[in-house]
Homo-oligomer: A and B are copies of this chain.
Amino acid sequence: MPMIEMSSVNKWYDDFQVLKDCSTQVAKGEVVVVCGPSGSGKSTLIKTVNGLEPFQEGTITVDEISVGDPATDLPRLRARIGMVFQNFELFPHLSIMENIKLAQLKVLNRTDDESAKRGMELLDRVGLVDQADKFPAQLSGGQQQRVAIARGLAMDPIAMLFDEPTSALDPEMINEVLDVMTALAEDGMTMMVVTHEMGFARRVAHRVIFMDEGRIEEDCTKDDFFGTARGERAQEFLSKILTH
């Protein structure tokens, strides 16, 4: 069974169709990169996976639980999927450690000690143990994004979703985040990553999805994508973002 499965998903904002008949699957341990022009629906697609964006038609299942089913306990499902956002979205009024502990305490009902312990392990993993008591605004962008990843991992998720995790970062900080993500992928985490970092895709991804105007235009292995098998639009897109 695939970990994430979408079939024929359609979504509208009023009259405007953002997602058109999108189908794909992500197997356990697989790393899938989603790319495409701005406004093509990448963020929307990834947010439908854990139900942050509702959709009108089609089905999505995560670990065999249907996301669109009104009977599904969405908060519980979401607690099992980590998500990392473009703008980090750390909670500015909580310290780093509190950011990581909050959902462990309130959602998983872990004790304070347990959550702190897990938090420390993860901060260690992303190399930020010494920042535990600072507040988000006191960290650089790269550091904040690493904390955001740690926060997602603290829930011991079965899969991680990334929405352009490096596009708000200064160039020198991009690598520190990509390094953490690469390590994660190597540990066998199931990941869906919206990104323009083609270097990362080349190194880490198993599959690449290319979106345009709400449609999944390409959905193939990394080698096929960077090889010659891709269509005209994808080619044009790649040429644009690779030349400079």
Partner-B contacts on A (CB < 8 A): 37-38, 140, 167, 170-175, 178, 196-197, 199-200, 237, 240-241, 243-244
Contacts and interface: CB of A to CB of B under 8 A. Distances in A.
Given A38-B140, A140-B38, A172-B37, A200 B244 contact: yes
A170 B199 CA distance: 17
Copies of this protein in the complex? 2
B37 A175 contact: no
Contacts of A171: 196, 240-241
Nearest to A203: B244
A44 to B, nearest CB: 16
A226 to B, nearest CB: 16
Contact of A172 (B140, B170, B175, B241): B241
23 contacts: A37-B170, A37-B172, A38-B140, A38-B170, A38-B172, A38-B173, A167-B170, A170-B196, A171-B196, A171-B240, A171-B241, A172-B237, A172-B240, A172-B241, A174-B244, A175-B240, A175-B243, A175-B244, A178-B244, A197-B244, A199-B243, A199-B244, A200-B244
A166 to B, nearest CB: 8
